[in-house]
Amino acid sequence: MYYKHHVFFCVNRRESGEICCAHRGSEAMQLYAKDRIKSMRRAGPGGVRINKAGCLDRCELGPCVVVYPEAVWYTYVDEKDIDEIIDSHLVHGRVVERLLLP
């Protein structure tokens, strides 16, 4: 396993004005998560990688993020949600039930 947790934020932007993750702040949240993981010294091989991704095709439930290899899908609203995903799931391996996608 190259990364223990490989996290993909949808940062897709639809120009037509349709619902998309980018319109709901996903780019800023991806950067926030990436910077926080780096500051916690958990970034890199054997640790965590926070990636941008194109459309994950679950737009109506977004903004969305998926954590592999465990294939856990979350939504989020703000930095507080991102912090909980990091502190609970990425650090301690405990899934954040309240943010799970249905």
Who's near 34: CB < 8 A, 6+ residues apart?
43, 50
Separation of alpha carbons 6 and 47, rounded Å? 8
Q: Per CB under 8 A, which region of 16-24, 55-63, 74-82, 87-95 contacts a second copy?
A: 55-63
CB of 20 to a second copy, least distance (A): 14
Q: Least distance to a second copy from the beta carbon of 89, Å?
A: 15
Question: Are 88 and 3 spatial neighbours (Cβ–Cβ below 8 Å)?
Answer: no
Among 35, 38, 69, 100, binds a second copy (CB under 8 A): 69
Expressed in angstroms, the distance from the first to the final Cα of the chain is 27
H/E stretch holding 92 reads helix 91-92
Cα–Cα distance, 47 to 101 (Å, whole number): 24
The verdict on 57 binding a second copy (CB under 8 A) reads yes
Q: Which of 6, 40, 84, 88 binds a second copy (CB under 8 A)?
A: 6
User: Which window, 18-26, 63-71, 82-90, 91-99, contacts a second copy (CB under 8 A)?
Assistant: 63-71
Tokens describing residue 66: 């998926």
Binding site for a second copy (CB under 8 A): 1-3, 6, 8, 11, 44, 49, 51-58, 66, 68-71, 73
